[in-house]
Structure 1
Amino acid sequence: MTIAERAVLRAAVSDLNARSAAGDPAAFYGQQLLLSRIYALSTQLPEGPTAEGSTFVHEVLRLLEQATAAAEDAALEPGALDAAPTEPSAYLSWLKKSAREHRVYKHPYYREFIRDHATADDLRNYVIQESVVDGRFDDLLATMQVGTSGDAKMEIAENFWDEMGNGDPSQVHTHLFNQIFRVFDIPAQELERSLTANALLSGNLAVLLCRYRHLYPEAVGFLGMTEWLAPERFVHVVHAWERLGLPDVGIVYHKLHITVDSRHAAGWFHNVVVPAATSERMRRAIARGTLWRLNSSARYLDERMPDLATHRPV
């Protein structure tokens, strides 16, 4: 590739980012799809030659990552990161309070639509969108723990080992999650083309925060909040699954995570968040990652929330 060709492609990516920032839905989708495909170069084993080591691909990657991070920061309420208490226990209480007061907490998508109105097709689409995080949580943990030590590393390791089924291949959580694909006959090639821009963003943010060491505290906030919110949400998924009489094999993952994620979230908060909260830099960054998760999840669920009037019986 010539210098001129590189310049043209850089300009095209910059234009895509600018249009996405201006609110162009097609540009936002294109931006997140391209970012997801580049991440796949380093998160999936290749079947042949790849562009993983390309310096130009890395240059494009950084343009996309910086634009994505800037958009999330722009969505933060002014002063939101300055309000955190300095005492670690009080800081943890503040984080939880911020989540409980956020509009995404107990979102009606789960409490109303999924629980009482979702059809089997709705659950099929739900699982496809959720695959970007739930379907690779073990790899996210493995990536984010690099460079950690002490109680934090042990907590992440315990979490990871649970994801690995505590050594039982049949109980590996990604394997259990993939059983849902079999229930709904979802082929691999359908996954990417069915993902929305906000679903792609959810997965991209998780990879972004876990792969860079300087964003480790943001990953702590992002993944910790993901696990804290999951149990209550999954209760409604299980209720819908049983209401529809779907095969039991497909709901094992969600049933398991109702209890496992409650324990993981408690351990995460007390063994990872609280010790780190003695540092002002860590407090601010953990809060940033937490709010990125809350805000992006809210936009994702708003997008998925249908008009319930069309789902209620006459």
Structure 2
Amino acid sequence: MYSGIGLARAGRFTPEFPNAQALHVGLAQWNRRRLAVGAPHDDWEAEVSDDCRMQRLEGAFVEGFRAQIAPLVADVPEDPHGFIAWFEGLKDKGPGQWDPLFAWLETEADLEQMRWFLTQEAAGEAGFDDLVAMTQVKMPARPKLELARNYWDEMGRGHLGGMHGPMLDRTVAGLELTPTIEGTCWPSLALANTMTAFATTRRYAYHSVGALGVVELTAPTRVGAVAQGLKRLGRPPEQRKYFVLHAQLDVEHSKAWNAEALVPLVEENPGCARYLAEGAMMRLICGQQCFDAYRAHLWADAEVYAAE
């Protein structure tokens, strides 16, 4: 299904951003600034001009990425039943699935290796709750309700202790991680930048629904392995709770997302199946690029990497 398309090739490099690392650091810094809570200021016109420049770079990256993966989604079914069968097949056959990195994290990684992995993951976390909230704008009623239910779960159903974002923050604090944009490998930043582009740009709204849905579909096995690895390393329940919760909850979230978001969207507009599929495939390829980069770092001196 996937032949190893280089995500770096989808970027548009400029003198300011001459390579993938520079481009995705720049996009990540811009996303942090533009999505932060702000206040009126006198330099707003310069800020708007900078936003326009960065939106062009972001758009060129996304469109280049879409062109790269076009052959992978050329034959996606446009009927709801066929589309869901194709989509659910990504759980086993999609890019990055069953990557050996996660069995290794579960059974062999030491604490410092686990900390490095989670630092990369935390730095590349775009915030599932905010992505869902931005994606649901002007969606049809049934998908909008499903995204709302998903968001309510992300919000801990109204209880601070159950909110998923702060739950991850407690893992980061407990493990004394210090994620930074500049210290993160570019594939992790590219994943967050891609998801943010989808959710904040209305022409990519279908892509965002597909990408978020494939996260729910494929995450449980991976986060379950991380949870077991943290348990093996003696970390307390509070530091494992985020991963344990998602290993269980995302299974049900995926079923509901497929039935109540994807199916009605394809029923209403069969042509959107292509965009849903592109979003899902692009998200999985971003993940695969991350796993490749993580293994290259973590297994650099290990015999297991040489065998890959």
TM (normalized to structure 1)?
Answer: 0.85
Separation in 2, partners of 1:207, 1:133 = 11
Residue 158 of structure 2 corresponds to residue 163 of structure 1: no
Which of the residues 46, 54, 63 maps onto 2:56?
63
**SS state of the match for residue 181, structure 2?**
helix
1:291 — aligned with what?
281
Change (3 A) 1:274 1:19: same
Residue 249 of structure 2 corresponds to residue 274 of structure 1: no
Larger CA deviation: 140-149 vs 97-106: 97-106
1:258 — aligned with what?
247
Q: CA deviation at 1:227?
A: 1.4
2:114 — aligned with what?
123
Larger CA deviation: 135-144 vs 171-180: 135-144
**SS state of the match for residue 182, structure 2?**
helix
- The 5 Å alignment of 1:1-314 reads 17-18=12-13, 27-46=19-38, 49=41, 54-76=47-69, 78=71, 80-111=72-103, 113-132=104-123, 134=125, 136-187=127-178, 190-278=179-267, 279-305=269-295, 306-307=298-299, 310=302
Q: CA deviation at 1:64?
A: 1.6
Separation in 2, partners of 1:222, 1:185 = 30
CA deviation vs aligned residue, 1:64-100 (integer Å, no higher than 9, x gap)? 212211332243152x222122320111101222442
**SS state of the match for residue 277, structure 2?**
helix
Larger CA deviation: 45-54 vs 135-144: 45-54
Q: CA deviation at 1:194?
A: 2.2
Kept in 2, the 8 Å contact 1:75–1:295? The answer is no
Separation in 1, partners of 2:59, 2:113 = 33
Larger CA deviation: 242-251 vs 127-136: 127-136
Q: CA deviation at 1:39?
A: 1.2
Change (3 A) 1:213 1:164: same
Give the counterpart letter for 2:50 in structure 1: V
CA deviation vs aligned residue, 1:10-60 (integer Å, no higher than 9, x gap)? xxxxxx92369xxxx961111011111111123222488596662321222
CA RMSD of aligned residues (A): 2.4
CA deviation vs aligned residue, 1:130-173 (integer Å, no higher than 9, x gap)? 22564611111111111123111111011111111111111111
Structure 1 gaps of 5+ residues are 1-15
Kept in 2, the 8 Å contact 1:41–1:51? The answer is no
Change (3 A) 1:276 1:192: same
Kept in 1, the 8 Å contact 2:76–2:86? The answer is yes
Kept in 1, the 8 Å contact 2:96–2:288? The answer is yes
**SS state of the match for residue 148, structure 1?**
coil
Q: CA deviation at 1:115?
A: 1.3
Separation in 2, partners of 1:49, 1:30 = 28
Structure 2 gaps of 5+ residues are 1-10
Identity fraction in percent: 21
Q: CA deviation at 1:235?
A: 1.2
Larger CA deviation: 272-281 vs 222-231: 272-281
Separation in 1, partners of 2:111, 2:35 = 30
Q: CA deviation at 1:242?
A: 0.9
**SS state of the match for residue 277, structure 1?**
helix
Change (3 A) 1:129 1:100: same
**Residues matched between the structures, number:** 289
Kept in 2, the 8 Å contact 1:210–1:216? The answer is yes
Q: CA deviation at 1:268?
A: 0.6
